């Protein structure tokens, strides 16, 4: 069932009337001006998963930014990422809050084959890795401390000792992630491999991704992570908020590392639509992106706005978790072991650091991890990575929306990577803020893949 009812946009009617009056004054035919301004589709239904990083959609709705663009939007929570993707593909949803890997995975045909595109990155960071109390009891004595507190970030080197012990006892070590092409999967794998633990390969005959694995990874929907771990089905997980902090509040587990500590300011969710929808509704697409940009600007504008957003997200038709749980990460802190709350100002970034821009280099990093773990089965030249990124990521749509907001006085040119010569080509440049210190250059994906001790090299096959 829908979580919201669409609103009729009085503001849109007034703005269209104003545009027609203005066009008549300068001698343009009214019908021509109306046609230029017309949205191809005004009534839209967007899907989301109950995570705090659905916030841009929620804020755009609750703050009437969609209405300002003449859009009558319905927001609808989805059961899991597969259902969400399938409903976008078959047209039940016009677009959705998606995992960054979903448009790429669908486009290259891993799992579901479909042409999905994105013109908008919804946020940076936002995930963490949590282990059960039983694992933490074994892990904590192996960790260095300072002033009575565990030193962070925690690397997986220490977890390897626990996993090796379990293996010697014939006990499998199991962890959950939210979807095979999720950033959570790749971040968890990255962290494990950096500590010497093999997370397993995907093969054509075994799509579980567990071939040769030291740690067995499986899919669990985000809201079910805490209860699945509490039941003992998994021993830990990687998920977005509020489901790591929920484990702390329930006393069933301990977050050991955030994704910001694995890769500083990593891309997380995107807003995805089908290519067919984007081609059919170009004006509507730009209008949606405009509203989402404004929502992300608002989210990063002040702490007061973050607190207001927490109240929105806590509503049952959105995330539905307690305000206190959601606020832990959304307002600039993060709690690890119970009572060990630490500053985390960049745990959720929605607009700063050009968070909303669809960088090609972000897409290519995801593709390198698909190749590293066997989801892309054959070696590909660097040019393939670039071509795939350009097929899926649409910065041209984003820039149309940004320029319109600048013209309307709702944003400044400096808010966007428009004239920054280092970013204007869609690449962030070499990035070295990874937990293993390996430098990533999106222009050289195969060179990057060759740097890892664990994972497929460019020319390898499983």
Q: Give the end of a domain, one of 242, 266, 290.
A: 266
Structural domain includes residue 450: no
Residue 34: pLDDT band (50, 70, 90) is very low
Structural domain includes residue 421: no
Number of domains in the chain: 2
Structural domain includes residue 439: no
For residue 211, give its domain range: 127-266
Q: Are residues 208 and 137 in the same domain?
A: yes
Interacting residues of 181 by C-beta distance below 8 A, sequence separation 6+: 99, 101, 102, 104, 105, 110, 111, 366, 370, 375
**Distance between CA atoms of residues 36 and 105, nearest Å:** 35
**Distance between CA atoms of residues 429 and 361, nearest Å:** 8
Q: Are residues 330 and 250 in the same domain?
A: no
Average pLDDT, the chain: 92
SS3 163: helix
Q: Are residues 81 and 170 in the same domain?
A: no
pLDDT tens string 110-136: 988 999 999 999 999 999 999 999 999
Q: Are residues 139 and 62 in the same domain?
A: no
Write down the pLDDT at residue 7. 54
Contacts 24+ apart (CB under 8 A), 63-66: 63/294, 63/295, 63/298, 64/7, 64/11, 65/290, 65/291, 65/292, 65/294, 65/295, 65/298, 66/7, 66/288, 66/291
Distance of CA 1 to the CA centre of its chain: 24
Q: For residues 313 and 295, is the Cβ–Cβ distance under 8 A?
A: no
Q: What is the CATH number of the domain that holds 169?
A: 3.40.190.10
17 sits in which H/E element: helix 10-25
Dihedral pair phi/psi, residue 115, rounded to 5°: -90, 100
pLDDT tens string 178-197: 999 999 999 999 999 999 99
Q: Are residues 190 and 103 in the same domain?
A: no
**Distance between CA atoms of residues 18 and 16, nearest Å:** 5
Q: Give the end of a domain, one of 222, 251, 266.
A: 266
SS3 375: coil
Q: Give the end of a domain, one of 376, 391, 415.
A: 415
Write down the pLDDT at residue 23. 35
Structural domain includes residue 446: no
**Distance between CA atoms of residues 416 and 395, nearest Å:** 11
Distances (CA, A) of 297 to 234, 306, 349, 367: 37, 11, 10, 28
Q: For residues 431 and 440, is the Cβ–Cβ distance under 8 A?
A: yes
275 sits in which H/E element: helix 275-280
Residue 421: pLDDT band (50, 70, 90) is low
Structural domain includes residue 420: no
Q: Are residues 316 and 402 in the same domain?
A: yes
Q: Are residues 390 and 302 in the same domain?
A: yes
Structural domain includes residue 356: yes
Q: Are residues 299 and 330 in the same domain?
A: yes
Q: Are residues 186 and 255 in the same domain?
A: yes
End-to-end CA distance of the chain: 43
Structural domain includes residue 368: yes
Structural domain includes residue 460: no
Q: Are residues 296 and 246 in the same domain?
A: no
pTM over cut 0.95: no
Identify the CA nearest to 359 among candidates 56, 114, 118, 180: 118
Write down the pLDDT at residue 37. 58
Structure tokens at 2: 């829908």
Q: Are residues 409 and 354 in the same domain?
A: yes
Residue 336: pLDDT band (50, 70, 90) is very high
Q: Are residues 305 and 368 in the same domain?
A: yes
């Amino acid at each position: 069932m829908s979580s919201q009812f669409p609103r009729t946009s009085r503001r849109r009617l007034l703005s269209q009337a104003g545009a027609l009056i203005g066009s008549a004054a300068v001698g343009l035919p009214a019908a021509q001006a109306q046609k230029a301004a017309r949205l191809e589709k005004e009534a839209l239904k967007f899907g989301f998963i109950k995570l705090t990083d659905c916030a841009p959609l929620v804020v755009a709705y609750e703050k009437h930014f969609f209405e300002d663009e003449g859009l009558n939007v319905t927001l609808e929570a989805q059961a899991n990422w597969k259902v969400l993707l399938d409903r976008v593909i078959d047209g039940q949803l016009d677009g959705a809050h998606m995992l960054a890997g979903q448009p790429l995975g669908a486009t290259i045909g891993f799992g579901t084959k479909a042409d999905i595109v994105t013109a908008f990155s919804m946020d940076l960071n936002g995930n963490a890795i949590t282990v059960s109390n039983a694992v933490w009891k074994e892990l904590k004595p192996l960790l260095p401390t300072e002033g009575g507190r565990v030193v962070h970030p925690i690397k997986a080197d220490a977890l390897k000792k626990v996993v090796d012990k379990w293996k010697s006892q014939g006990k499998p070590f199991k962890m959950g992630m939210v979807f095979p092409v999720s950033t959570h999967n790749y971040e968890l794998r990255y962290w494990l491999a950096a500590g010497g633990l093999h997370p397993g390969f995907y093969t054509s005959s075994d799509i579980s991704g567990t071939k040769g694995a030291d740690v067995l990874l499986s899919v669990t929907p985000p809201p079910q992570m805490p209860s699945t771990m509490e039941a003992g089905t998994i021993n830990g997980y990687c998920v977005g908020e509020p489901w790591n902090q929920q484990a702390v509040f329930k006393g069933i587990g301990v977050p050991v590392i955030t994704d910001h500590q694995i890769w500083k300011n990593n891309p997380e969710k995107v807003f995805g639509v089908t290519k067919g929808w984007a081609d059919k509704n170009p004006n509507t697409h730009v209008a949606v992106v405009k509203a989402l940009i404004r929502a992300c600007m608002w989210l990063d504008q002040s702490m007061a706005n973050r607190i207001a957003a927490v109240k929105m997200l806590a509503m049952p038709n959105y995330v539905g978790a307690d305000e206190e749980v959601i606020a832990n990460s959304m307002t600039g802190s993060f709690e690890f072991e119970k009572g060990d709350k630490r500053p985390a100002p960049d745990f959720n970034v929605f607009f700063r650091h050009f968070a909303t821009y669809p960088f090609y280099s972000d897409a290519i990093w995801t593709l390198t991890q698909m190749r590293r773990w066997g989801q892309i089965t054959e070696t590909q030249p660097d040019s393939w990575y670039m071509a795939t990124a350009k097929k899926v990521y649409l910065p041209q749509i984003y820039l149309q929306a940004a320029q319109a907001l600048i013209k309307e006085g709702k944003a400044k040119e400096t808010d966007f990577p428009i004239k920054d010569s280092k970013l204007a080509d869609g690449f962030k440049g070499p990035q070295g803020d990874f937990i293993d210190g390996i430098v990533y250059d999106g222009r050289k994906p195969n060179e990057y893949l060759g740097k890892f001790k664990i994972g497929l090299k460019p020319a390898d096959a499983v």
